[in-house]
Amino acid sequence: LIKDQTPFCGRKWRQNNMSAITAVYLTIKPELRDDWLAGSDVETDIAEALPLEQALRALTHWHNVRRYPEMMGVEQGILNVEQDFFAKELEKMDLADPGGMEEEG
């Protein structure tokens, strides 16, 4: 009964009744798709899904371009141009380290 009702209880209730939740968790073997501990908010998950997917796709593409430029059809020297762009942006923000890696302190 507690396992079935936990997703509908608030965060405060779950914090106050952690011993009961732990006892249920230790007694009943959790299944792979068992999300009763999380109490997920579907609307928030949907709103966060698109930006997370776009970021993952961008990082995957960047990794593949760096590792396999000829397979990805990248122009020669484009990575150097992009790195120069990021270096210039860091300089604008006064975050660039012109002398290389220096220890702060």
Mean pLDDT per 10-residue interval, the chain, length 105 residues: 81 88 86 68 73 89 83 75 69 63 47
- Residue 86's pLDDT is 65
- What sign for the dihedral angle of Cα 48, 49, 54, 58? positive
- Residue 16's pLDDT is 93
Q: What is the DSSP string of 14-81?
A: HHHTHHHHHHHHHHSPPPTT--TTT---HHHHHHHHHHHHHHHHHHHHHHHHHH-HHHHTPPTTHHHH
- For 64, list phi and psi in degrees, rounded to 5: -65, -35
- Residue 43's pLDDT is 66
Length of the chain: 105
Query: What ranges do the domains of the chain cover?
Result: 1-29+40-93
- Residue 30's pLDDT is 77
- Residue 92's pLDDT is 78
